[in-house]
Chains A and B, each alone.
Chain A
């Protein structure tokens, strides 16, 4: 009897080992195999259009895309408070603007703007017949007395402590009153479902990135607060090849365009800075340096250049 028992035990143990090895092996290889199968399926699957780092539109296998998400997205409640201690200002040097539109391209790309929504417009200005024409880039002014914030019925657009005016697209009801109130016509509206929705799967919305956009809400230039939080300059500032945009903290009295860093008060003094529509009392945060001692002679834009030249 005893022998039988031990024999039985040995068999059961062997059996158990074999079974566990078998099932473990099946499991492991199954997992690896299935993963590879899925990966391979993706490889041979459909192509997806993506933008490369230098603004080209290429086609890539959807399996080769690795999602690159910002490591932290600021939640809406914190986005309302802002970055403490700072007061952001932008200075735009009109004597250097050549209508290269690299700023607009960068802004469109990094904010995944679709349709005809352009946050940073560049206009040809000629104040009167006898004055010279010049190019004027116009972001949102982030006014200190913002008319858009005054009229918003749900506090979807708000002014933060650091001077930035943001839009919370999860609260906006799409009444477009802010668009009517803005004297700089700087806001745009999502009339339909935004195009790059497929890229936004898994992305967490934050008013600081403004991505993914929501249908039926208003959006505008936001001074790239996600970059500012990391101590980096906004995309238009770094993209401009002629150093037109300066960005800085008014409390520190310093602005920088990436390569030059100067004192803000000195820049205003030396070059006679001013603001647009000063008389309306909106107190914008964007200063302009008049187009004197131009870097480039004024040339009309080639037709077809610029996002907005396409007719619908």
Chain B
């Protein structure tokens, strides 16, 4: 987009603005969209149904027992928290660094963040043995407990992410309110309510920009905190594999990597199903995101090496059992696939110019996401299955999640995707005024003509 840095005269700017508005209005779903939404709904409801089973019978319906008592609910929780850091990465960090190409993808990343952090909060409740006593955390909470820190940080981050999504969205909602035709009454009312009567005045824009700046500054330390505190849920114990000083940095770097993968995947899918979007989510964007992902993968590789190499050098008693299981034992296939396909292969492929085209980038991003989920599994479960043990039933020695456990976890993933899908359905996923600004259209033109369409 920098290629178009030449000054636009007002007439051209207005036409460009109208073009943006035309292209980026949220549309009704076609058959694919409807099927996809239905599929997600069914997945989510199945999860809810299995959860009611769990409430009735207890956590016995999972594969967890006294030996491995934290399973895929917890690893899924860590995964969600990791992905939710992408909001702060793209929207906040790149904004403060005045990196302008972030403009089209900022809202997408923020939606992913909000969806992920919401379901992180929900899946951790699913893991509780007595969710009916949740209020005890407020009444009898102990500030010394890392779980209380985690609850506070997740709540704070959720608030900040929602605000960081909402403020820049206001002009977009107002546009939907004004220019979307043929929509049901409830939708129109929703837009009017949410838009706070947005009138495109300069004062309002000023407030929004101020809010974005404040939020960007605030959300970065909170985002770092949230994943560090989540890592402390493990690092505050004595178990081999968790008793590590490296965990905070290790988790945060992994989070940024998987977050960038999530955004790239979202970008590609949007382009695929909304062909008009390739004007805004250009190949150049993929190229730059791919480079960003390579950088993040290198940082993650650095912390991973720190995490595994030095304990392997020492081979302390407890650590040696755990590391042997990871490197050459029961978990070796998963461990090596995750390292290779989740970190090394994307890093190498994306180093090449042809590797940074949209399709290969998308494939690498998907690989990164899937391997990241299994990486979280490898963080949580092998330490729990720390052998040798005695006097436990054979079935307890290796944890395998039950069907209902998978369905509940799948339900949470479906729910997060559902939030993103519904958002794309009802709100503009690309921020018009931000890309207009980035394009060089003057503020005055934006304010005046933002809500106009191509009157044909």
Chain A residues with a Cβ under 8 A of chain B: 116-118, 121-124, 147, 150-156, 171-177, 179-181, 183, 187-193, 214-218, 280, 306-312
User: CB distance B66 to A189 under 8 Å?
Assistant: yes
Q: Which residue of A lies closest to B127 (CB)?
A: A175
User: CB distance A175 to B129 under 8 Å?
Assistant: yes
For the residues of B in contact with A, the DSSP-based class is loop
Q: Which of B64, B128, B394 contacts A175 (CB 8 A)?
A: B128
A156 and B148 alpha carbons, distance in the complex (Å): 13
User: CB distance B141 to A174 under 8 Å?
Assistant: no
User: CB distance A154 to B136 under 8 Å?
Assistant: yes
Excluding A176-B69, A193-B57, 10 further A-B contacts by CB distance (< 8 Å) are A153-B142, A154-B140, A156-B136, A177-B145, A177-B146, A183-B238, A187-B66, A190-B58, A310-B393, A312-B65
How many chain B residues sit at the interface, stated as a range, is 35 or more
A311 and B391 alpha carbons, distance in the complex (Å): 10
User: CB distance B137 to A173 under 8 Å?
Assistant: yes
User: CB distance A173 to B131 under 8 Å?
Assistant: yes
A156 and B134 alpha carbons, distance in the complex (Å): 12
User: CB distance B238 to A153 under 8 Å?
Assistant: no
Contact partners of B127 in chain A: CB under 8 A:
175
User: CB distance B58 to A173 under 8 Å?
Assistant: no
Contact partners of A215 in chain B: CB under 8 A:
58, 129
B129-159 CB mask vs A (1 if < 8 Å, else 0) is 1110110110011101111100100000000
- Interface-centre pick from A117, A174, A214 (highest chain B CB count, 10 A): A174
User: CB distance A173 to B133 under 8 Å?
Assistant: yes
B265: interface (CB < 8 Å): no
User: CB distance B236 to A151 under 8 Å?
Assistant: yes
User: CB distance A152 to B142 under 8 Å?
Assistant: yes
Contact partners of B395 in chain A: CB under 8 A:
311-312
Contact partners of A309 in chain B: CB under 8 A:
391
Contact partners of B131 in chain A: CB under 8 A:
173
A259 and B391 alpha carbons, distance in the complex (Å): 30
B233: interface (CB < 8 Å): yes
CB distance from B232 to the nearest CB of A (A): 10
A188 and B131 alpha carbons, distance in the complex (Å): 18
Contact partners of B236 in chain A: CB under 8 A:
150-151, 181
User: CB distance B145 to A152 under 8 Å?
Assistant: yes
Q: Which of A150, A156, A176, A190 contacts B144 (CB 8 A)?
A: A150
Contact partners of A187 in chain B: CB under 8 A:
66
Contact partners of B57 in chain A: CB under 8 A:
192-193
4 tightest Cβ-Cβ pairs between the two chains A and B = A174-B129, A216-B129, A308-B391, A192-B60
User: CB distance A153 to B133 under 8 Å?
Assistant: no
User: CB distance A124 to B133 under 8 Å?
Assistant: no
Q: Which of B70, B234, B238 contacts A176 (CB 8 A)?
A: B70
User: CB distance A153 to B239 under 8 Å?
Assistant: no
Residue contacts A-B, CB under 8 angstroms, 5 given: A150-B144, A151-B146, A156-B136, A180-B70, A192-B57
